[in-house]
A and B are shown apart, each in its own frame.
Chain A
Amino acid sequence: AQSVAQPEDQVNVAEGNPLTVKCTYSVSGNPYLFWYVQYPNRGLQFLLKYITGDNLVKGSYGFEAEFNKSQTSFHLKKPSALVSDSALYFCAVSAAGNKLTFGGGTRVLVKP
């Protein structure tokens, strides 16, 4: 069985400061890892994914994520957070197939 943990329910950060949202996973075989963002009353928007290759993946809106196989982690990062980055962020994992398993989500609040 595959699983995802997002250990922080909420992350607070000041605008302009770096933002990190943590994600660890468990899966048999090579993981396919994804980050999505959800703004209020909207569906999930795809940010980025890791399939293979370079451990640092760059995605939309200035976000990036670092894959660490030994720590089974895939943390989402942004060097300088904006107030508009305030949203709910989901990490998800798939094992070489189409079925995704999501973490519980982390709410990000960026304060001016």
Chain B
Amino acid sequence: DAGITQSPRHKVTETGTPVTLRCHQTENHRYMYWYRQDPGHGLRLIHYSYGVKDTDKGEVSDGYSVSRSKTEDFLLTLESATSSQTSVYFCAISVTSGDSTDTQYFGPGTRLTVL
């Protein structure tokens, strides 16, 4: 999984509670991403980061916030979880190849259930 770890791998929580998911990379890549995967929707971008303290919104950012205080860690926070945020969450990094093109590589995912 391209040197990417995600924690926790599984979490069950209750509506209204805060939740933080962690993505950790070992190779100091600049770009990191958070996606959610839902049946029929593929993967949708939540937020991404292009450096320490530099983040931007993606397609489905409402209800989520992110932080990146170190190059290797990208945190996703659900301030007050809702049942609609039950999903599988994937972190990705962007790796630049020898031909100067970028490819995203994904972590193993976190399965979040909000009851």
Contacts and interface: CB of A to CB of B under 8 A. Distances in A.
A: contact size bracket? 20 to 34
Main secondary structure of the interface of A (DSSP, over half): strand
Contact of A43 (B44, B48, B109): B109
Main secondary structure of the interface of B (DSSP, over half): strand
B51 interface: no
Interface in A51-66: 51
B34 interface: no
B64 interface: no
Interface of B: 1, 4, 31, 33, 40-45, 48, 50, 58-59, 90, 94, 99, 101-109
Interface of A: 4, 6, 32, 34, 36, 42-46, 49, 51, 90, 92, 98-105
5 contacts: A42-B109, A43-B107, A44-B106, A90-B42, A98-B33
